[in-house]
Amino acid sequence: MIAALAGGVGAARMLRGLVQVTDPAELTAVVNTGDDTVLHGLHISPDIDTVTYTLAGRNDEARGWGLAGETWTVMAALEDLGGDAWFQLGDRDLATHLYRTQRLAEGATLSAVTADLAARMGVRIRLLPMSDDPVRTSLVLAADGRRVGFQDYFVRLGHAVAVSSVHFEGAAESRPAPGVLEAIEDAETVVICPSNPVVSLGPLLAVPGVAGLLRSRRSTVVAVSPIVGGAALKGPADRLLAELGEEPSVVGVARRYAEIAGCLVVDEVDADLAGAVADCGLRCVVAPTVMHGPSEAAALAEVVLAAGREGSTR
Ligand code: FO1
């Protein structure tokens, strides 16, 4: 069994690699829900949808979120009415949010809805939200101390604002979703996908029980750095690390994960920092980590699983 802790795009690509080199029935992804938001009365779970759509082969690769071949009729009509259209919801994507919202209103858990949507879309791995309880990432802006929701920060403000602190509202009261702790416990290797360590994996690691369980088996927990050459491949991970006083490099990522992971996989451009990563107490594996297509993702997945097996002999 393999468990993968996942955020959005980087994680979806890592999972697409893992499903090529393992039996999908042996793979469980635990997905961040800190990005979730309610807009137009609809419950939207962006990272769950990014992972589901990608593994279903229906994601829009270029845009990085939402569905391929999407149309925007509803959003255009909403804009004509003077409605809020800053968060773009495609016509087919809206069906997902309508379905999820209706099911939740009928009393279904986010886990149940996530499993049904994945099955419906032909996704063969097990997808679990990190929790069925509400956990919401919010960020305090450095300029004026205002606290904004994740999607306000990421989309409406285009994450082009400095942040002084990040919060995971509800995390302390949340419980891991059914199967989450067991998936981590039973896994031969736990993969921390190359997602934003602050706002994508941060909420997941803040769910009570998760970090402690990882710590107890850290030698077979393998993380892949989302920072390559001191920069994030996509999104604000490097800037957030720097704004929070951490090093925006593989060393900063190593320091964040040192307690819960026994190994950090870094890209070849960061080979010169392998010693500094090892000094943080993690094994450092140097390999190509930029996944343009499925073949690089599969190759990286092999490296990660080999690192996990190596850890099991320690
Ligand atoms: N990201 C954007 O930059 N602009 C958008 O208009 C946008 C809409 C959107 C709708 C549904 C969805 O599932 C994701 C969406 N995203 C959008 C991405 C979203 O902000 C994610 O939280 C990020 O990808 C970070 O994980």
- pLDDT (tens digit, 9 = 90+) per residue, 271-311? 999 999 999 999 999 999 999 999 999 999 999 999 999 99
User: Given a cut of 80, is residue 314 above it in pLDDT?
Assistant: no
197 lines ligand 1 (CB under 6 A): no
Any ligand 1 atom below 6 A from CB of 157: no
Phi, psi of 259 (to 5 degrees): -75, -25
Please report the pLDDT score of residue 53 as a whole number.
98
Measured from the Cα of 8, ligand 1's closest atom is 26
Full strand arrangement of the beta sheet holding 147-149 = 147-149, 136-141, 163-169
pLDDT band at 313 (very low <50, low <70, confident <90, very high): confident
pLDDT for residue 27: 98
Q: How far apart are the first and last CA of the chain?
A: 19
CA of 311 to the centre of ligand 1 (A): 36
Residue corresponding to tokens 């199967």: 179
Question: Each residue of 88-111: pLDDT tens digit?
Answer: 999 999 999 999 999 999 999 999
Q: Per this entry, what is the length of the chain?
A: 314
Overall domain count for the chain: 1
- Is the minimum distance from the CB of 65 to ligand 1 under 6 angstroms? yes
Say if pTM beats, i.e. exceeds, 0.95.
Answer: yes
- Where in the sequence is the domain holding 210, given as residue range(s)? 1-314
Residue 261: partners with Cβ closer than 8 Å, 6 or more residues away: 192, 214, 218, 221, 222, 223, 282
Cα of 155 from ligand 1 centre, angstroms: 7
Task: For ligand 1, say whether the CB of 66 is within 6 Å of any of its atoms.
Answer: yes
Matching residue, tokens 């290797």: 189
131 three-state secondary structure = strand
Section 131-136 average pLDDT: 98
Residue 217, C-beta contacts closer than 8 angstroms, at least 6 positions apart: 184, 185, 190
Give residue 65 CA to ligand 1 midpoint distance, Å.
6
What integer is the mean pLDDT of 107-128? 98
> Stretch 123-144: mean pLDDT, rounded?
98
| Cα–Cα separations (whole angstroms), residue 41 to 54, 169, 186 | 25, 20, 38
CA distance 286 to 270: 8
How far apart CA 298 and CA 314 sit, in angstroms, is: 25
| pLDDT, tens digit, 9 for 90 and up, residues 38-77 | 999 999 999 999 999 999 999 999 999 999 999 999 999 9
75, 22 in Cβ contact below 8 A? no
Query: How do strand 189-192 and strand 126-129 relate by DSSP bridges?
Result: unpaired
Is the minimum distance from the CB of 123 to ligand 1 under 6 angstroms? Answer: no
Cα distance between residue 311 and residue 27, in whole Å: 19
Matching residue, tokens 């309880």:
133
Closest CA to 131 of 11, 55, 31: 31
Ligand 1 atom 13 nearest Cα? 46
Cα angle 240-242-244, degrees, rounded to a multiple of 5: 70
Beta carbon of 226 within 6 Å of any ligand 1 atom: no
Averaged pLDDT, 108-126: 98
Backbone angles phi, psi at 68, to 5 degrees: -70, 150
Residue 242, ligand 1, Cβ within 6 A: no
Q: Taking CA 138 as the corner, what is the angle to CA 133 and CA 139, rounded to the nearest 5 degrees?
A: 160
Phi, psi dihedrals of residue 88, rounded to the nearest 5°: -80, 115
Q: Considering the chain, what is the average pLDDT of its residues?
A: 97
Q: Confidence band (pLDDT; 50, 70, 90) for 241?
A: very high
Closest Cα to atom 3, ligand 1: which residue? 155
**Ligand 1 pocket: which of 94, 155, 234 to mutate (most atoms within 8 A of CB):** 155
pLDDT recorded at residue 86: 97
* Pocket lining: 51 vs ligand 1, CB cutoff 6 Å: no
pLDDT for the residue 218: 97
User: If you search the block for the tokens 């016509």, which residue do you land on?
Assistant: 91
**Does residue 93 line the site of ligand 1, with CB under 6 A?**
yes
Q: Atom 16 in ligand 1: which residue has the minimum CA distance?
A: 65
What number does the ligand 1 atom closest to the CA of 158 have?
Answer: 3
| CATH number of domain containing 142 | 3.40.50.10680
Cβ pair 191, 197 in contact under 8 A: no
